[in-house]
Amino acid sequence: MVQKVVSLPEIGEVILKKNARSKHIRLYVKPNKQVIVSLPARASFHSAEKFALQNTSWIVKQQSKFHTSSTKFTKDSVYFTKYHIIKIEEKDVEKPLVATNHKTVTVCFPKSTDTESIHVSMQRLITEVYRREAKQYLPERLSLLADRYGFRYNKVTIRNNKSNWGSCSSANHISLNLNLMKLPDPLIDYILLHELAHTVVKNHGPDFYQLLNRTTGGKARELAKEIKKYAAYTY
């Protein structure tokens, strides 16, 4: 894949990537605010750069959305996951301590701990909580949906991806992002069905969306639009 990096006013760094499979110029803003323009192999980098400039206001809006979606963990705050309640407390302790009582996870920090240190520690902890929940929930849910709609896959793995919610290999091995556990249930199902559909159709052409529509009650495009509101790995 041939690519070029340019710096554009208001936007910053933009990666222009040529893709032999692309038929149109497409624009993406990742949760880390990175901007990527995918373009057909025969298209010029100049046309891709122009396309990005024409969509400057949209790009800036998306970058701002990802920024404001981030949660800052502070003392005495409470965080809810699918199966757990995570509490942060300030105590007379020498080092951070973690205590689990059924569905409640309490993290105690020394009184001298600064806010940034709390935030970094909590990111690590919650990633592990999501990992456990993902292993508990996602494989079973994937199997249920596969049986319901007649899909077959070889194996499933859970990863902490930073670029996508899931993927399906040519051998029908499905990889799922542990951060799916942040999503509402209908969007989790949409991603699972999306990857299951790739066990039959390996591209995003009309046949793929026709299949996906059959399993989502005709809501594939609507759900695809909705999931863009969520960042795959922010907190």
Q: What is the pLDDT of residue 235?
A: 41
Whether 193 is in a domain gets the answer: yes
Q: What is the pLDDT of residue 31?
A: 66
C-alpha distances in angstroms, 63 versus 30, 58, 76, 119, 233? 8, 9, 29, 21, 14
146 with 212, same domain? yes
Q: What is the pLDDT of residue 157?
A: 96
Whether 73 is in a domain gets the answer: no
114 band by pLDDT with thresholds 50, 70 and 90: confident
Q: What is the pLDDT of residue 231?
A: 63
- Which run of H or E residues covers position 105? strand 104-110
Whether 234 is in a domain gets the answer: no
160 with 203, same domain? yes
Whether 48 is in a domain gets the answer: yes
Residue 56: count of CB within 10 angstroms of its CB: 13
d(CA 56, CA 19): 22
Three-state DSSP at 177 gives: strand
Q: Do 188 and 136 meet the contact criterion of CB atoms below 8 Å apart?
A: no
Domain that residue 84 falls in:
78-131
34 with 53, same domain? yes
Residues 116-149 as b/e (b if ≥16 CB within 10 A, e otherwise) read: eebeebbeebbeebbbebbeebbbebbeebbeee
User: Torsions phi, psi of 55, nearest 5?
Assistant: -110, 25
Whether 235 is in a domain gets the answer: no
d(CA 51, CA 55): 6
Q: Which of 228, 201, 225 is nearest to 214 (CA)?
A: 201
| Number of domains making up the chain | 3
In the block, which residue shows the tokens 């990742």?
A: 30
Q: Is the pLDDT assigned to residue 63 strictly greater than 80? A: no
pLDDT averaged over the chain?
87
Q: What is the pLDDT of residue 23?
A: 82
20 with 85, same domain? no
Whether 181 is in a domain gets the answer: yes
Whether 233 is in a domain gets the answer: no
Lowest average pLDDT, out of 44-58, 70-84, 86-100, 189-203, goes to: 70-84
Q: For the chain, report the end-to-end CA distance as a whole number of angstroms.
A: 32
Q: Do 86 and 129 meet the contact criterion of CB atoms below 8 Å apart?
A: yes
The predicted model gives 204-220 an average pLDDT of 93
CA dihedral 187, 189, 191, 195 (to 10 degrees): -170
Lowest average pLDDT, out of 7-11, 169-173, 187-191, goes to: 7-11
**Range of 102-111, 113-122, 210-219 with top mean pLDDT:** 210-219
173 with 221, same domain? yes
1 band by pLDDT with thresholds 50, 70 and 90: low
